[in-house]
Structure 1
């Protein structure tokens, strides 16, 4: 056995057949007991390495509790440096880098200096956003796999550190600096860039994930370079709007790939560029994306502040689809804070706004927000509530999600996958294992059609529901399919 033991687990214990069997079966009662007996690890050391409480480790060792979360299984692998294949996982980042994380104290910032928003020192000028875009994209384009692994765990801004620098969004855009007109781009070239930005956004909406992220970043870098040449005013404004749309797509792709801090960088660029280009509706869309990021990070109050900032700054400029989308983000944040009545009111406002939408009257980037999207988002938020009170909300959540599945377009593959995952969880919460198993298979099939790490993270939330039903061959089969995809 050539396994590297960079963590607290001695390498020789990994050769034990009984421990290997325990790992393969995810029997952590047996595995932790063997570690204590033959590896010399105390329960406290196991808890610290795996980011678990000592009490939870004690319950696992005594057989009172089992590890059912895929994310926790990954923490066990990383904390104790158990090679991924022993636990049915893909190679872990520390295996791929070939270095001991404990002895390699580089942070994300060492290879990729924190960019920050800089708005505390630099006003919301056009030159500032171009400079930031050029610097961030150059850094991103040379980021290797090891730096990307560190970037996944890099901290993001929250609270006042996130919100205070964004207040400049509410101020009028500064007039363009007086510069010699050296640019040579014409209307035809800008139209090609606009078409490219639209194509990248459509691809991300269809597939998700980061397979084309570097292509988007490269195009963003080129547009920033063109803006450094100070084009004619008409061309410059359109270029800022292209810059905003490309940065918004780059942010979504980075977020979808788990690069949270990098996503924040691109969201900031997108917001500043939209502000510079006078596209306040798209700026509101960017703030809504930032709010969604905060919601996934359990920061609903930050998300609500971002939505209110978007609504204040785009008033009179946003059409009904944008306003409806903002209401759904507001509803999401309200649901996350337990305000069920306010959630219902905001959802009703979104539905009312959407009835006023006229096809073709709003920008292409908001066309995705239709009745199917509203149903999917509403179903997802009702599912959030159902996790706390299944009897009150699981059935209505399932109804909304079924509506979304039945009415979504074929190009929304990532959304389809998320819908099936949500519907399967609704069935698990309602105790209908037959339906839940069938929907889990559909969720796995839909997830295989995307490259979205967000979809795989959500898929992992189904795994605990499949544990404890080993007597059912159908549930075991569904669990095996989940493990197979999550480990890939």
Structure 2
């Protein structure tokens, strides 16, 4: 069932998911001991972290257990599956729910200065992701969250600090999910994103929640479920509103366009691209939140290039790809540059220009080697697959040989 904004406001929808990460002991030193600590929770973290819990207490315990499992790199986390339909329920819950506050607080009172410190760390880790890829620094961020951020959620605070803290924790949890996604760990990424959405709900920041849904839409479309990706993007738009974060709105329209292109809806996809461009024209950078910094011409034109590539419209794909490449080069963003060079290579191949595609493919390969990103490796592999119709041509053989080490290492 699709999700739209019509007829749904003020509707209460109660999730039926069970409680998560039950606290089984609390020693005198105040450290909570959960089933995870006692060794009983491993097999259930993957399942529990797919749920959008009504209970904030349960949410804190689930996201803390997920972070610890990620840091520990336990065997079950490595094989954590992605479930496309699991994202639909949380998106609906975020859009419709009014959630209860049910958590008794203990420990030293959290100050606004503590939240500011968390926000400062977010900026540093976001820059690391943008410039070096999701495979760089994610486990350090997971450790920081587990040791310093999630424990703050269990302490006492004023209402204003509570909202600010939940917002900061949601931002960081989203970033963990995004970095895992970029590194090809999709099951873990999905679970972080769902818990980030719940924390964003707690913060009252609708733009942040819509931003999380954009990430979920991106991942779901990439993994072969564009209809669900489209619904997630639509849910984000319905909850965002027209006057809140034009950058986020531009992103949601861009991701809906990607999904529609995969579905083969040519006119709707082109319309969504136009809506994305119109929304971005309204962006005022100084009025946007820090997490929206990456939603810029390098990113959006790169996404539009992929949309037109999938629509088999190579001229538009090449135009958007070149604009993205130019902006990414000026910013030193190798990951975005690599993916847009791959889109440019694809547009050349759609026009049967193997020589130009080979040159763009080599630039893709060079940039992909500068970052730790499975998406960049997949971009290289996509160029190689698209070259296959040219058979044993020397340029195909050359690109395949040059790409071998990168693909094999991945």
Q: Which TM class, normalised by the smaller chain length?
A: 0.7 to 0.9
Instruction: Note the C-alpha offset of 1:273.
Output: 0.5
- For the 8 Å contact 2:45–2:66, the answer to whether it is kept is no
The equivalent of 1:485 in structure 2 is 406
- For the 8 Å contact 1:380–1:422, the answer to whether it is kept is yes
- For the 8 Å contact 2:384–2:399, the answer to whether it is kept is no
- Looking at structure 2, the residues matched to 313 and 375 of structure 1 have their Cα atoms a distance apart, in angstroms, of 24
The equivalent of 1:83 in structure 2 is none
Asked if residue 214 in structure 1 is aligned to residue 139 in structure 2, the reply is yes
- For the 8 Å contact 1:264–1:290, the answer to whether it is kept is yes
C-alpha RMSD over aligned residues: 2.1
The equivalent of 1:425 in structure 2 is 346
Asked if residue 447 in structure 1 is aligned to residue 368 in structure 2, the reply is yes
- Looking at structure 2, the residues matched to 316 and 400 of structure 1 have their Cα atoms a distance apart, in angstroms, of 25
Query: Equivalences for 1:411-422 in 2 at 5 Å?
Result: 411-422=332-343
Match of 1:262 among 180, 183, 188: 188
- For the 8 Å contact 1:210–1:253, the answer to whether it is kept is yes
Are residues 110 and 179 of structure 1, via their aligned partners in 2, closer, same or farther at CA, if it must alter by over 3 Å? closer
1:423-472 deviation digits (Å, cap 9, x = unpaired)? 11221222212211211111110000110011101211122344555452
- For the 8 Å contact 2:106–2:154, the answer to whether it is kept is no
- Aligned with 2:295: secondary structure? coil
Q: Output the TM-score relative to the length of structure 1.
A: 0.70
The equivalent of 2:6 in structure 1 is none
- For the 8 Å contact 1:287–1:307, the answer to whether it is kept is yes
The equivalent of 2:99 in structure 1 is 174
Moved more, 416-425 or 164-173: 164-173
The equivalent of 2:179 in structure 1 is 253
Are residues 163 and 112 of structure 1, via their aligned partners in 2, closer, same or farther at CA, if it must alter by over 3 Å? closer
The equivalent of 1:114 in structure 2 is 47
Q: Output the TM-score relative to the length of structure 2.
A: 0.83
Match of 1:282 among 181, 184, 208: 208
Are residues 317 and 425 of structure 1, via their aligned partners in 2, closer, same or farther at CA, if it must alter by over 3 Å? same
- For the 8 Å contact 1:240–1:277, the answer to whether it is kept is yes
Asked if residue 139 in structure 1 is aligned to residue 69 in structure 2, the reply is yes
Instruction: Write out the 4+ residue segments of structure 1 that deviate beyond 4 Å after TM superposition.
Output: 109-113, 465-469
Query: Equivalences for 1:68-87 in 2 at 5 Å?
Result: none
- Which consecutive unaligned segments of at least 5 residues does structure 1 have? 1-108, 387-392
- For the 8 Å contact 1:330–1:346, the answer to whether it is kept is yes
Asked if residue 405 in structure 1 is aligned to residue 338 in structure 2, the reply is no
- Looking at structure 2, the residues matched to 316 and 396 of structure 1 have their Cα atoms a distance apart, in angstroms, of 27
The equivalent of 2:267 in structure 1 is 341
- Looking at structure 1, the residues matched to 261 and 331 of structure 2 have their Cα atoms a distance apart, in angstroms, of 29
The equivalent of 1:129 in structure 2 is 59
- Which consecutive unaligned segments of at least 5 residues does structure 2 have? 1-41
The equivalent of 1:294 in structure 2 is 220
Are residues 167 and 476 of structure 1, via their aligned partners in 2, closer, same or farther at CA, if it must alter by over 3 Å? closer
- For the 8 Å contact 2:368–2:376, the answer to whether it is kept is yes
Instruction: Note the C-alpha offset of 1:312.
Output: 1.6
- Looking at structure 2, the residues matched to 168 and 199 of structure 1 have their Cα atoms a distance apart, in angstroms, of 31
Alignment length, in residue pairs?
Answer: 365
Asked if residue 319 in structure 1 is aligned to residue 252 in structure 2, the reply is no
1:61-103 deviation digits (Å, cap 9, x = unpaired)? xxxxxxxxxxxxxxxxxxxxxxxxxxxxxxxxxxxxxxxxxxx
Asked if residue 461 in structure 1 is aligned to residue 382 in structure 2, the reply is yes
Asked if residue 194 in structure 1 is aligned to residue 115 in structure 2, the reply is no
- For the 8 Å contact 1:183–1:232, the answer to whether it is kept is no
Moved more, 125-134 or 344-353: 125-134
- Looking at structure 2, the residues matched to 430 and 396 of structure 1 have their Cα atoms a distance apart, in angstroms, of 12
Instruction: Note the C-alpha offset of 1:291.
Output: 0.6
- For the 8 Å contact 1:137–1:217, the answer to whether it is kept is yes
Are residues 345 and 241 of structure 1, via their aligned partners in 2, closer, same or farther at CA, if it must alter by over 3 Å? same
